[in-house]
Structure 1
Amino acid sequence: MLSPGYERAPLPPLRETPVETVHDTRAEAEKKPSGKNDRDPFLDNAKYLTIVLVAIGHAWAPFAGNSRTTGALYMLVYAFHMPAFIVISGYLSRSFDGRPRQISRLVTGVLVPYVIFQTAYTLFMRAVDNPDREFYYQKPGFALWFLVALFLWRLTTPMWKNLRWPVSVSLVIAIAASVTPSIGGDLGLMRVVQFLPFFVLGLQLRPEHFRFLQSRPSRRVALPVAACAALLAYWAVPRMSSAWFGHAASVQQMGVPAWKGAVVNLALFGCSLVLTACFLAWVPRRRLWFTALGAGTLYAYLLHVYPIRLARVNEWYDMSWVGHPLGRVTVTILAAVMMTLLCTAPVRRVFRGLMEPKMAWFFRPDPAAAARAREHTPTPDRDPSAQRRDSSAQPRDSSAHR
């Protein structure tokens, strides 16, 4: 833990990126000379706060249409919580270049958990809702689309790093996808492509960009901008669907012409980008009580699905107290507490075998890694200290001084 006076530390240089965006605790942590954990508090704070907002958004969904105020808050949160989550994921992926070790972590930290949790979600829904629910892996269950997206985004990272205008290219691809109904819902590809620009943007960010957002002028601007966005959301509630921010359907399915939908999506991208900047401007940079929880955000993201779905299937939202303002505040607090608990170390220890399986048996040995290990392994004939000991043990030849 950092000392109490440690504040506003510069973002650390990225080493080999963890598979979890937001997420793998094994590779993202670095060690200080003192041996203490040197994770950047800003990133962990941002990850924790965004994952809490994800759960709150899911918890608000059933009654967002019953109150204009709740609907406005729901729309406001959905405008930036996943974009912010994805931008951070892209930033943490900057060093991904497809090395064997990175590929193995991508498989074990993203692809394998997707298969495991997609299977678990199907069994869960069979037990609580539909006994005849089919096993299929091409259609991600509730919220599981993000694992597919993260896998595909990471694989394409080397390509984005080599383009001259990666954000512009990804935005053109996203807009083109939004007007292409034939893409469909397999593997959540519509969401994968439409959210792609935020991931690519994260790849382009540097520590100085975050420092700029954290400056005093940026923070002062963020508050009135967010207030204006809240008023705009309140105005928009009866005039547009919040489904626009989910990016799960084409514009034709949203009932608008292609050209108009393309313009709307372009505007929504700009809106989400501005609100993401406002959010990051006010994320604390110092270590707080919830900073360590940022290491468990992917655990919370995957595990919160089950209580959320259970509440909807069992119609807990139909209880009379939920419809009152105090009931909605209670639901919000419960969602935040749930995500906080799911990010804790005990939960990570219990589910680490599912979320971070080692699976060394599944991959070929990396020759480069083995060579590096041999180089760093001292041997009797290469150990300088051994050579010095051997030379000192030999008797001096007096004839050498003659």
Structure 2
Amino acid sequence: MFHAAHGYERAPAPEVKGPETTPTNRAATALAPAPSGLKSASSTAPEAAGRDSYFDNAKYLAIVLVAVAHAWEPVMDGSRAARALYMVIYTFHMPAFIIVSGYFSRSYQGKPHQLRRLLTGIALPYVVFEVAYSLFVRYANDDPSHPISLLDPFYLTWFLAALFIWRLTTPLWRMVRWPMSIALAIGALAALTPDIGADLNLARVLQFLPFFVLGLCLKPEHFQLLRRRQVRLLTVPVIAGALLFAYWVAPRASLSWFYRSGSVQERGWPWYSGLVVVIALFGCALVLSAAFLALVPGRRAWFTALGAGTICGYLLHGFVIKAGDYWGVFESQAWLGGPLGLVVVTLCAGGMVTLLCSPPVRRVLRFVTEPEMKWAFRQDSAELGPRR
């Protein structure tokens, strides 16, 4: 799913200061952070506040896919084609989001100002929305016994908890010699460990970890390579092949593989064959993520500015989807499972998340997604030095 969400650098160059000190960039960092000083090769339009249109476009398009996939869940059971398309989207939409998040977390070194932003831009929204979703379930779903627990992320808040953990470990991944090999081993072991526990959705956090570490290892030229014309042309047969394969396997495949929230043993598979599926799914996610990022336009478009508000779209669209589920909207309208209904659901979900990413919504939620909270933190010596 961020996505869902501040200041990063060209590794291993010195830390980029622009977005680090710009309050308006904070919300985007929790869900694929806003870039600074990383202009794409084909981008010619002027960028506002040092932002790169390519990555803002990628964030917006990814969050639209997240919302559409969530909206399909209650109505797609009667459509094999919708289930196949859902599987393809779920294979790459969160991995792509996480790769971009890792890419823009490369400058994180655990400095005081970075820790403050980690707390205000990720930890605080997690606490607020975890409580808000829990209260929403209690009253909207008439479930007064639903617990409020910060250790058990509800629905989509898991991504904020995951990003908090991943970013804290960033200095370690930048220090070790074989980060991808280690991250893949950890992800595989997490998929083979039935008793890993549900706290902070740790099984999912560890299984998605390799995508974040991959983002840490990437450089600007890797994204420029993806956007070459030859690579873009290759995405057509890749996506077509993925759709055909998904359509063939859709009636037999368990969707739990794509959520990565449990072990292979819990799905009834032996560890050795389940490990093959885990590795294959990682490879498919990597290829489809590359195809998605290759197709993202690099120039400024009408939706580019919305990429700065993806944290709002990510955190708010869940209320709308869950409300439709709790209030029986999807069950009472059986026609939504048909071809026309799925088109309507897709358009409504895309329009909804577009509005939720808009600047007015972002301004309203700034107090929780991009708070300064200077009153809560001491000023470190590096900040006081220039003033003295």
- TM-score normalised by structure 2 residue count: 0.89
Separation in structure 1 between the aligned mates of residue 37 and residue 219 of structure 2, nearest angstrom: 18
Is the aligned partner of 1:267 residue 2:280?
yes
* 2:236 counterpart residue number: 223
* 2:79 counterpart residue number: 67
Larger Rg: 1
Separation in structure 2 between the aligned mates of residue 356 and residue 267 of structure 1, nearest angstrom: 38
- Contact 2:28/2:307, CA 8 A, preserved across alignment: no
For structure 2, which runs of at least 5 residues remain unmatched after alignment? Answer: 1-9, 40-45
* 1:168 counterpart residue number: 181
For structure 1, which runs of at least 5 residues remain unmatched after alignment? Answer: 1-10, 375-402
Separation in structure 1 between the aligned mates of residue 84 and residue 338 of structure 2, nearest angstrom: 16
* 1:15 counterpart residue number: 16
Residue from 57, 62, 71 that aligns with 1:50: 62
Separation in structure 1 between the aligned mates of residue 255 and residue 114 of structure 2, nearest angstrom: 37
- Contact 1:179/1:252, CA 8 A, preserved across alignment: yes
Deviation >4 Å, runs of 4+: 11-14, 16-32
- TM-superposed deviation, 1:187: 0.5
Separation in structure 1 between the aligned mates of residue 102 and residue 76 of structure 2, nearest angstrom: 30
Q: 1:101 to 1:148 in 2, by over 3 A?
A: same
- Contact 1:83/1:276, CA 8 A, preserved across alignment: yes
Is the aligned partner of 1:126 residue 2:138?
yes
Separation in structure 1 between the aligned mates of residue 385 and residue 124 of structure 2, nearest angstrom: 28
Separation in structure 2 between the aligned mates of residue 31 and residue 251 of structure 1, nearest angstrom: 39
- TM-superposed deviation, 1:136: 1.2
- Contact 1:31/1:37, CA 8 A, preserved across alignment: no
- TM-superposed deviation, 1:24: 8.2
Is the aligned partner of 1:80 residue 2:92?
yes
Separation in structure 1 between the aligned mates of residue 47 and residue 159 of structure 2, nearest angstrom: 34
* 2:264 counterpart residue number: 251
Residue from 228, 237, 244 that aligns with 2:250: 237
- TM-superposed deviation, 1:22: 4.2
* 2:292 counterpart residue number: 279
* 2:4 counterpart residue number: none
Given residue 214 of structure 2, which amino acid in structure 1 is its aligned partner?
Answer: L
Given residue 220 of structure 1, which amino acid in structure 2 is its aligned partner?
Answer: L
Per-residue displacement from partner, 1:210-237 (whole Å, max 9, x unpaired)?
Answer: 1100001101111101100110111111
Number of residue equivalences:
363
Three-state SS of the structure 1 residue aligned to 2:77 is helix
Given residue 268 of structure 2, which amino acid in structure 1 is its aligned partner?
Answer: G
Separation in structure 2 between the aligned mates of residue 164 and residue 144 of structure 1, nearest angstrom: 32
Separation in structure 2 between the aligned mates of residue 270 and residue 320 of structure 1, nearest angstrom: 36
* Deviation larger for 349-358 or 194-203: 349-358
Given residue 114 of structure 2, which amino acid in structure 1 is its aligned partner?
Answer: Q
- TM-superposed deviation, 1:30: 6.7
* 2:343 counterpart residue number: 329
Separation in structure 1 between the aligned mates of residue 187 and residue 33 of structure 2, nearest angstrom: 32
Within a 5 Å distance, the mapping from 1:176-215 to structure 2 comes to 176-215=189-228
* 2:359 counterpart residue number: 345
Pairwise CA RMSD of aligned residues? 2.2
- Contact 2:203/2:261, CA 8 A, preserved across alignment: yes
- TM-superposed deviation, 1:29: 5.7
* 1:151 counterpart residue number: 164
Q: 1:323 to 1:198 in 2, by over 3 A?
A: same
* Deviation larger for 20-29 or 303-312: 20-29
Separation in structure 1 between the aligned mates of residue 104 and residue 28 of structure 2, nearest angstrom: 6
Three-state SS of the structure 1 residue aligned to 2:371 is coil
Is the aligned partner of 1:99 residue 2:111?
yes
- TM-superposed deviation, 1:323: 2.3
Three-state SS of the structure 2 residue aligned to 1:182 is coil
- TM-superposed deviation, 1:242: 1.9
Separation in structure 2 between the aligned mates of residue 31 and residue 83 of structure 1, nearest angstrom: 21
- TM-superposed deviation, 1:280: 0.6
Is the aligned partner of 1:316 residue 2:329?
yes
Separation in structure 2 between the aligned mates of residue 110 and residue 171 of structure 1, nearest angstrom: 25
Separation in structure 1 between the aligned mates of residue 121 and residue 230 of structure 2, nearest angstrom: 39
- Contact 1:59/1:308, CA 8 A, preserved across alignment: yes
- TM-score normalised by structure 1 residue count: 0.86
Separation in structure 1 between the aligned mates of residue 34 and residue 114 of structure 2, nearest angstrom: 10
- TM-superposed deviation, 1:64: 2.7
Identical amino acids, percent of aligned pairs: 51
* 2:43 counterpart residue number: none
Separation in structure 1 between the aligned mates of residue 345 and residue 282 of structure 2, nearest angstrom: 29
* 2:320 counterpart residue number: 307
- TM-superposed deviation, 1:372: 3.2
Separation in structure 2 between the aligned mates of residue 91 and residue 196 of structure 1, nearest angstrom: 13
- TM-superposed deviation, 1:38: 2.6
- Contact 2:32/2:59, CA 8 A, preserved across alignment: no
- Contact 1:153/1:196, CA 8 A, preserved across alignment: yes
